[in-house]
Amino acid sequence: MVTNGADLGRLRRINELAVIAAVRESGDLRVAQIAERIGLARTSVGEVVRGLVGHGWLEEKVPVAAGRGRPAHRYRFRASAGHVLGLDIGAHNVRAMLADLDGTVLATVHRVSDPAMPRQERLQTIDRAVSDCLRQAKATTEQVWMSVAATTGWVDREGQILMSGSILDWAGVDLAGHLRALLGAPALVENDSRLAALAEHRRGVGQGVRDLVLLQAGRRTGLGILIDGRLHCGFGYVAGDLSMHRALKWEPAIEYLLFCDASPATGPTGDAVADVLVAAAEGHAGALVAVRRYVREMAIAAAAIASIIDPEVIVLGGSMSKHAGLLLPLLSSELDLLCLRTPELRSSSLGADSAALGAVCLALQHLDAAILNEHGGPLGPLRRPEAFSAASDA
Protein backbone atom coordinates (compact mmCIF):
# COMPACT_ATOMS: atom_id res chain seq x y z
CA MET A 1 0.00 0.00 0.00
CA VAL A 2 1.38 3.38 -1.03
CA THR A 3 0.74 6.34 1.26
CA ASN A 4 1.16 9.75 -0.36
CA GLY A 5 2.13 13.01 1.29
CA ALA A 6 -1.46 14.23 1.48
CA ASP A 7 -2.49 11.13 3.45
CA LEU A 8 0.44 11.57 5.84
CA GLY A 9 -0.45 15.24 6.24
CA ARG A 10 -4.04 14.42 7.11
CA LEU A 11 -2.92 11.74 9.55
CA ARG A 12 -0.55 14.20 11.19
CA ARG A 13 -3.36 16.74 11.54
CA ILE A 14 -5.70 14.15 13.08
CA ASN A 15 -3.04 13.31 15.65
CA GLU A 16 -2.38 16.98 16.36
CA LEU A 17 -6.07 17.67 16.93
CA ALA A 18 -6.34 14.64 19.22
CA VAL A 19 -3.39 15.84 21.31
CA ILE A 20 -4.80 19.38 21.56
CA ALA A 21 -8.24 18.07 22.56
CA ALA A 22 -6.75 15.84 25.27
CA VAL A 23 -4.68 18.65 26.75
CA ARG A 24 -7.54 21.18 26.65
CA GLU A 25 -9.88 18.73 28.33
CA SER A 26 -7.55 17.53 31.09
CA GLY A 27 -5.10 20.37 31.66
CA ASP A 28 -1.39 19.80 32.28
CA LEU A 29 -0.40 16.35 30.99
CA ARG A 30 2.75 14.35 30.49
CA VAL A 31 3.46 12.75 27.13
CA ALA A 32 2.70 9.32 28.56
CA GLN A 33 -0.69 10.54 29.84
CA ILE A 34 -1.55 12.06 26.47
CA ALA A 35 -0.60 8.80 24.72
CA GLU A 36 -2.83 6.84 27.08
CA ARG A 37 -5.80 9.14 26.50
CA ILE A 38 -5.68 9.16 22.72
CA GLY A 39 -4.39 5.64 22.13
CA LEU A 40 -1.17 6.45 20.28
CA ALA A 41 2.39 5.29 20.85
CA ARG A 42 4.37 7.44 23.24
CA THR A 43 7.09 8.13 20.64
CA SER A 44 4.50 9.32 18.11
CA VAL A 45 2.86 11.56 20.68
CA GLY A 46 6.23 12.98 21.69
CA GLU A 47 6.93 13.95 18.08
CA VAL A 48 3.52 15.59 17.71
CA VAL A 49 3.91 17.46 21.00
CA ARG A 50 7.29 18.85 19.99
CA GLY A 51 5.80 20.16 16.75
CA LEU A 52 2.87 21.76 18.56
CA VAL A 53 5.19 23.43 21.05
CA GLY A 54 7.25 24.79 18.17
CA HIS A 55 4.14 26.22 16.51
CA GLY A 56 2.88 27.80 19.72
CA TRP A 57 -0.14 25.53 20.31
CA LEU A 58 1.24 23.97 23.48
CA GLU A 59 3.52 25.29 26.17
CA GLU A 60 5.76 23.33 28.45
CA LYS A 61 5.21 23.60 32.16
CA VAL A 62 8.49 23.93 34.04
CA PRO A 63 8.98 20.59 35.86
CA VAL A 64 9.39 20.63 39.62
CA ALA A 65 11.76 18.08 41.09
CA ALA A 66 10.11 15.84 43.68
CA GLY A 67 12.26 13.04 44.99
CA ARG A 68 14.62 11.01 42.87
CA GLY A 69 14.71 10.86 39.10
CA ARG A 70 14.27 13.39 36.39
CA PRO A 71 10.90 15.21 36.67
CA ALA A 72 8.55 14.62 33.73
CA HIS A 73 7.69 17.53 31.47
CA ARG A 74 4.03 18.55 31.32
CA TYR A 75 2.25 20.32 28.51
CA ARG A 76 -0.81 22.52 28.31
CA PHE A 77 -2.71 24.41 25.66
CA ARG A 78 -1.39 27.95 25.21
CA ALA A 79 -4.70 29.63 25.94
CA SER A 80 -2.98 32.99 26.49
CA ALA A 81 -2.12 33.24 22.78
CA GLY A 82 -5.32 35.17 22.12
CA HIS A 83 -8.49 36.52 23.70
CA VAL A 84 -12.19 36.75 22.99
CA LEU A 85 -14.46 39.58 24.08
CA GLY A 86 -18.05 39.06 25.16
CA LEU A 87 -20.45 41.99 25.53
CA ASP A 88 -23.90 42.26 27.05
CA ILE A 89 -25.77 45.41 26.00
CA GLY A 90 -29.10 46.17 27.63
CA ALA A 91 -31.20 49.25 28.21
CA HIS A 92 -29.85 49.73 31.74
CA ASN A 93 -26.43 48.04 31.67
CA VAL A 94 -23.37 47.34 29.55
CA ARG A 95 -21.09 44.47 30.53
CA ALA A 96 -17.76 43.57 28.89
CA MET A 97 -15.98 40.27 29.56
CA LEU A 98 -12.55 39.21 28.31
CA ALA A 99 -11.53 35.54 28.24
CA ASP A 100 -8.59 33.50 26.98
CA LEU A 101 -8.82 30.77 24.33
CA ASP A 102 -9.90 28.23 26.94
CA GLY A 103 -12.75 30.46 28.10
CA THR A 104 -11.17 31.47 31.41
CA VAL A 105 -12.54 34.91 32.26
CA LEU A 106 -9.71 37.38 32.76
CA ALA A 107 -11.64 40.60 33.36
CA THR A 108 -15.23 41.84 33.63
CA VAL A 109 -16.37 45.46 33.52
CA HIS A 110 -19.90 46.72 34.21
CA ARG A 111 -21.21 50.14 33.22
CA VAL A 112 -24.65 51.64 33.92
CA SER A 113 -26.64 53.01 30.98
CA ASP A 114 -30.13 54.42 30.48
CA PRO A 115 -32.97 53.47 28.09
CA ALA A 116 -33.16 57.07 26.87
CA MET A 117 -29.43 57.33 26.17
CA PRO A 118 -28.77 58.44 22.55
CA ARG A 119 -27.23 55.75 20.39
CA GLN A 120 -23.92 57.57 19.97
CA GLU A 121 -23.56 57.92 23.72
CA ARG A 122 -24.44 54.25 24.16
CA LEU A 123 -21.78 53.25 21.63
CA GLN A 124 -19.28 55.40 23.50
CA THR A 125 -20.25 53.65 26.73
CA ILE A 126 -19.60 50.32 25.03
CA ASP A 127 -16.22 51.55 23.78
CA ARG A 128 -15.23 52.68 27.28
CA ALA A 129 -16.31 49.36 28.79
CA VAL A 130 -14.20 47.49 26.21
CA SER A 131 -11.21 49.75 26.83
CA ASP A 132 -11.50 49.38 30.61
CA CYS A 133 -11.87 45.61 30.32
CA LEU A 134 -8.72 45.33 28.18
CA ARG A 135 -6.83 47.62 30.56
CA GLN A 136 -7.91 45.54 33.56
CA ALA A 137 -6.59 42.38 31.87
CA LYS A 138 -3.45 44.17 30.60
CA ALA A 139 -4.40 43.20 27.04
CA THR A 140 -4.44 45.08 23.73
CA THR A 141 -6.94 45.19 20.88
CA GLU A 142 -4.48 43.19 18.76
CA GLN A 143 -4.81 40.31 21.23
CA VAL A 144 -8.59 40.11 20.73
CA TRP A 145 -9.26 37.48 18.07
CA MET A 146 -13.04 37.82 18.02
CA SER A 147 -15.86 39.68 19.76
CA VAL A 148 -19.50 38.75 20.25
CA ALA A 149 -22.17 41.09 21.57
CA ALA A 150 -25.42 40.07 23.24
CA THR A 151 -28.02 42.79 22.83
CA THR A 152 -31.65 43.33 23.54
CA GLY A 153 -33.87 43.38 20.46
CA TRP A 154 -34.16 41.73 17.05
CA VAL A 155 -30.84 41.32 15.26
CA ASP A 156 -30.25 40.17 11.68
CA ARG A 157 -27.55 37.73 10.59
CA GLU A 158 -25.18 40.56 9.66
CA GLY A 159 -25.22 42.03 13.17
CA GLN A 160 -27.50 45.01 12.55
CA ILE A 161 -30.18 45.91 15.08
CA LEU A 162 -33.57 45.75 13.36
CA MET A 163 -35.85 46.49 16.31
CA SER A 164 -35.66 47.08 20.04
CA GLY A 165 -38.57 47.70 22.36
CA SER A 166 -36.44 48.77 25.32
CA ILE A 167 -33.85 51.01 23.60
CA LEU A 168 -35.75 53.55 21.52
CA ASP A 169 -33.11 54.55 18.94
CA TRP A 170 -31.20 51.26 18.78
CA ALA A 171 -32.79 50.08 15.52
CA GLY A 172 -30.54 50.55 12.51
CA VAL A 173 -27.25 50.37 14.44
CA ASP A 174 -24.61 48.24 12.69
CA LEU A 175 -23.23 46.94 15.96
CA ALA A 176 -21.09 44.21 14.36
CA GLY A 177 -19.50 46.78 12.05
CA HIS A 178 -18.81 49.08 14.99
CA LEU A 179 -17.04 46.31 16.90
CA ARG A 180 -15.02 45.25 13.86
CA ALA A 181 -13.80 48.81 13.45
CA LEU A 182 -13.04 49.12 17.15
CA LEU A 183 -11.06 45.89 17.50
CA GLY A 184 -9.99 45.02 13.97
CA ALA A 185 -11.33 41.49 14.42
CA PRO A 186 -14.40 39.48 13.36
CA ALA A 187 -17.52 40.38 15.32
CA LEU A 188 -20.92 38.80 15.83
CA VAL A 189 -24.13 40.16 17.36
CA GLU A 190 -26.87 37.98 18.81
CA ASN A 191 -29.99 38.37 20.93
CA ASP A 192 -29.23 38.48 24.65
CA SER A 193 -31.78 35.86 25.73
CA ARG A 194 -30.38 33.37 23.21
CA LEU A 195 -26.84 33.86 24.45
CA ALA A 196 -27.98 33.56 28.07
CA ALA A 197 -29.53 30.22 27.11
CA LEU A 198 -26.29 29.16 25.41
CA ALA A 199 -24.30 30.04 28.55
CA GLU A 200 -26.59 27.95 30.75
CA HIS A 201 -26.18 25.04 28.33
CA ARG A 202 -22.39 25.28 28.17
CA ARG A 203 -21.53 26.42 31.72
CA GLY A 204 -24.64 26.56 33.86
CA VAL A 205 -27.58 24.42 34.94
CA GLY A 206 -28.31 23.24 31.39
CA GLN A 207 -25.10 21.26 30.86
CA GLY A 208 -25.88 17.90 29.30
CA VAL A 209 -29.43 18.97 28.33
CA ARG A 210 -30.36 18.59 24.66
CA ASP A 211 -33.52 20.72 24.51
CA LEU A 212 -33.76 23.80 26.71
CA VAL A 213 -35.77 27.01 27.00
CA LEU A 214 -34.55 29.98 29.01
CA LEU A 215 -37.03 32.49 30.41
CA GLN A 216 -35.30 35.86 30.74
CA ALA A 217 -37.30 37.43 33.58
CA GLY A 218 -36.53 40.86 34.97
CA ARG A 219 -36.09 44.27 33.40
CA ARG A 220 -35.53 42.31 30.21
CA THR A 221 -38.09 39.79 29.05
CA GLY A 222 -37.25 37.19 26.46
CA LEU A 223 -36.88 33.56 25.45
CA GLY A 224 -33.80 31.61 24.43
CA ILE A 225 -34.30 28.23 22.75
CA LEU A 226 -31.84 25.38 22.26
CA ILE A 227 -32.86 22.32 20.28
CA ASP A 228 -30.54 19.32 20.21
CA GLY A 229 -27.87 21.41 21.92
CA ARG A 230 -27.90 24.19 19.31
CA LEU A 231 -29.38 27.68 19.41
CA HIS A 232 -32.63 27.86 17.49
CA CYS A 233 -32.90 31.20 15.68
CA GLY A 234 -35.46 30.37 12.97
CA PHE A 235 -35.55 31.12 9.26
CA GLY A 236 -35.98 34.88 9.73
CA TYR A 237 -33.95 35.00 12.95
CA VAL A 238 -36.97 35.80 15.14
CA ALA A 239 -37.56 32.48 16.92
CA GLY A 240 -38.60 33.07 20.52
CA ASP A 241 -39.87 36.62 19.99
CA LEU A 242 -43.37 36.86 21.42
CA SER A 243 -43.70 40.64 21.36
CA MET A 244 -46.29 40.68 18.54
CA HIS A 245 -48.64 38.18 20.19
CA ARG A 246 -51.34 40.23 21.87
CA ALA A 247 -52.71 37.22 23.74
CA LEU A 248 -49.38 36.79 25.51
CA LYS A 249 -48.93 39.50 28.15
CA TRP A 250 -45.79 38.43 29.96
CA GLU A 251 -43.79 41.58 29.13
CA PRO A 252 -46.39 44.13 30.34
CA ALA A 253 -47.12 41.91 33.36
CA ILE A 254 -44.11 43.48 35.07
CA GLU A 255 -46.52 46.30 35.94
CA TYR A 256 -48.18 43.99 38.50
CA LEU A 257 -44.91 44.18 40.44
CA LEU A 258 -43.95 47.76 39.67
CA PHE A 259 -47.23 49.19 40.92
CA CYS A 260 -47.70 46.93 43.92
CA ASP A 261 -47.41 48.89 47.15
CA ALA A 262 -45.44 46.40 49.21
CA SER A 263 -42.10 46.68 50.99
CA PRO A 264 -40.30 43.80 52.71
CA ALA A 265 -40.30 43.74 56.50
CA THR A 266 -36.52 43.39 56.36
CA GLY A 267 -36.24 46.77 54.62
CA PRO A 268 -36.40 47.95 50.99
CA THR A 269 -33.76 46.80 48.52
CA GLY A 270 -33.91 49.91 46.34
CA ASP A 271 -35.38 47.88 43.46
CA ALA A 272 -39.19 48.11 43.25
CA VAL A 273 -39.57 44.66 41.67
CA ALA A 274 -37.17 43.00 44.10
CA ASP A 275 -38.98 44.65 47.02
CA VAL A 276 -42.27 43.05 45.99
CA LEU A 277 -40.65 39.64 45.49
CA VAL A 278 -39.01 39.78 48.91
CA ALA A 279 -42.26 40.95 50.52
CA ALA A 280 -44.13 38.08 48.87
CA ALA A 281 -41.57 35.59 50.19
CA GLU A 282 -42.16 37.08 53.67
CA GLY A 283 -45.90 36.46 53.33
CA HIS A 284 -47.20 39.94 52.41
CA ALA A 285 -50.70 39.21 51.01
CA GLY A 286 -50.79 42.01 48.43
CA ALA A 287 -47.31 41.17 47.16
CA LEU A 288 -48.23 37.52 46.81
CA VAL A 289 -51.25 38.43 44.69
CA ALA A 290 -49.09 40.59 42.41
CA VAL A 291 -46.43 37.89 42.06
CA ARG A 292 -49.02 35.23 41.24
CA ARG A 293 -50.46 37.45 38.52
CA TYR A 294 -47.03 37.99 37.04
CA VAL A 295 -46.15 34.30 37.16
CA ARG A 296 -49.45 33.37 35.52
CA GLU A 297 -48.63 35.51 32.49
CA MET A 298 -45.08 34.17 32.36
CA ALA A 299 -46.45 30.62 32.51
CA ILE A 300 -48.78 31.23 29.56
CA ALA A 301 -45.83 32.34 27.42
CA ALA A 302 -43.65 29.47 28.65
CA ALA A 303 -46.40 26.93 28.05
CA ALA A 304 -46.89 28.15 24.48
CA ILE A 305 -43.23 27.41 23.72
CA ALA A 306 -43.11 24.23 25.80
CA SER A 307 -46.15 22.77 24.07
CA ILE A 308 -44.46 23.14 20.68
CA ILE A 309 -40.86 22.24 21.55
CA ASP A 310 -41.38 19.93 24.56
CA PRO A 311 -38.02 20.88 26.13
CA GLU A 312 -36.36 18.76 28.77
CA VAL A 313 -35.66 21.79 30.96
CA ILE A 314 -36.92 25.35 31.38
CA VAL A 315 -34.39 27.66 33.05
CA LEU A 316 -35.49 30.78 34.91
CA GLY A 317 -32.92 33.45 34.07
CA GLY A 318 -32.60 37.19 34.43
CA SER A 319 -32.59 39.19 37.64
CA MET A 320 -35.65 37.36 38.97
CA SER A 321 -33.71 34.08 39.10
CA LYS A 322 -32.40 35.28 42.48
CA HIS A 323 -35.93 34.72 43.76
CA ALA A 324 -36.31 31.21 42.33
CA GLY A 325 -37.33 29.79 45.71
CA LEU A 326 -40.51 31.85 45.49
CA LEU A 327 -41.12 31.82 41.74
CA LEU A 328 -40.37 28.26 40.60
CA PRO A 329 -43.03 26.50 42.73
CA LEU A 330 -45.64 29.01 41.53
CA LEU A 331 -44.50 28.61 37.91
CA SER A 332 -44.57 24.83 38.19
CA SER A 333 -48.16 24.89 39.48
CA GLU A 334 -49.27 27.13 36.62
CA LEU A 335 -47.50 25.03 33.98
CA ASP A 336 -49.11 21.85 35.33
CA LEU A 337 -52.46 23.34 34.29
CA LEU A 338 -51.25 24.30 30.80
CA CYS A 339 -48.82 21.60 29.66
CA LEU A 340 -49.37 17.96 28.80
CA ARG A 341 -45.90 17.39 30.31
CA THR A 342 -44.37 20.05 32.51
CA PRO A 343 -40.62 20.37 31.80
CA GLU A 344 -38.18 20.27 34.67
CA LEU A 345 -37.67 23.76 36.07
CA ARG A 346 -34.24 25.06 37.10
CA SER A 347 -32.87 28.42 38.18
CA SER A 348 -29.93 30.09 36.44
CA SER A 349 -26.58 29.60 38.14
CA LEU A 350 -24.86 32.38 36.17
CA GLY A 351 -26.89 35.42 37.17
CA ALA A 352 -26.10 38.78 35.60
CA ASP A 353 -23.08 37.38 33.72
CA SER A 354 -25.09 34.87 31.68
CA ALA A 355 -25.47 36.81 28.41
CA ALA A 356 -21.84 38.00 28.39
CA LEU A 357 -20.68 34.44 29.14
CA GLY A 358 -22.86 33.19 26.29
CA ALA A 359 -21.16 35.71 24.03
CA VAL A 360 -17.76 34.34 25.10
CA CYS A 361 -18.94 30.77 24.44
CA LEU A 362 -20.14 31.67 20.94
CA ALA A 363 -16.90 33.48 20.12
CA LEU A 364 -14.83 30.47 21.22
CA GLN A 365 -17.00 28.16 19.17
CA HIS A 366 -16.37 30.16 16.01
CA LEU A 367 -12.67 30.53 16.73
CA ASP A 368 -12.29 26.80 17.26
CA ALA A 369 -13.97 26.19 13.93
CA ALA A 370 -11.54 28.62 12.29
CA ILE A 371 -8.25 27.55 13.88
CA LEU A 372 -9.01 23.85 14.36
CA ASN A 373 -10.51 23.10 10.96
CA GLU A 374 -10.37 19.35 10.56
CA HIS A 375 -9.49 19.47 6.86
CA GLY A 376 -6.10 19.97 5.27
CA GLY A 377 -2.54 19.23 6.30
CA PRO A 378 -0.65 19.66 9.56
CA LEU A 379 -1.41 22.66 11.74
CA GLY A 380 0.60 25.80 11.21
CA PRO A 381 1.46 28.35 13.90
CA LEU A 382 -1.28 29.31 16.36
CA ARG A 383 -2.16 32.90 15.52
CA ARG A 384 -5.06 35.27 15.08
CA PRO A 385 -7.07 34.26 11.98
CA GLU A 386 -6.80 36.78 9.17
CA ALA A 387 -10.45 36.35 8.24
CA PHE A 388 -13.17 33.77 8.67
CA SER A 389 -16.92 33.47 8.48
CA ALA A 390 -18.58 34.69 11.67
CA ALA A 391 -22.18 33.86 10.83
CA SER A 392 -24.04 32.82 13.99
CA ASP A 393 -24.51 29.09 14.08
CA ALA A 394 -24.41 27.73 17.61
Dist CA 101 CA 81 (whole Å):
7
CA distances from 342 to 119, 306, 314, 339 (A): 41, 8, 9, 6
Dist CA 303 CA 311 (whole Å):
11
Q: Where are the domains of the chain?
A: 5-77, 80-196+353-371, 207-348
Dist CA 44 CA 31 (whole Å):
10
Residues 6+ apart with CB under 8 A from 37: 22, 26, 29
For domain 5-77, give the CATH number: 1.10.10.10
With H, G, I as helix, E, B as strand and everything else as coil, classify residue 196. helix
Same fold for the pair 5-77 and 207-348: no
Find the angle CA(237)-CA(314)-CA(273) to the nearest 5 degrees: 90
CA distances from 392 to 192, 196, 262, 370, 373 (A): 13, 15, 43, 13, 17
CATH class of the region 207-348: alpha beta
For domain 80-196+353-371, give the CATH number: 3.30.420.40
Question: Each residue's pLDDT tens digit in the chain (394 positions)?
Answer: 344 556 777 888 899 999 999 999 988 999 999 999 999 999 999 999 999 999 999 999 876 655 565 667 899 999 999 999 999 999 999 999 999 999 999 999 999 999 999 999 999 999 999 999 999 999 999 999 999 999 998 898 888 898 888 898 899 999 999 999 999 999 999 999 999 999 999 999 999 999 999 999 988 889 999 999 999 999 888 888 877 777 788 888 999 999 998 888 888 888 899 999 999 999 999 999 999 999 999 999 999 999 999 999 999 999 999 999 999 999 999 999 999 999 999 999 999 999 999 999 999 999 998 888 756 678 889 998 876 665 555 6
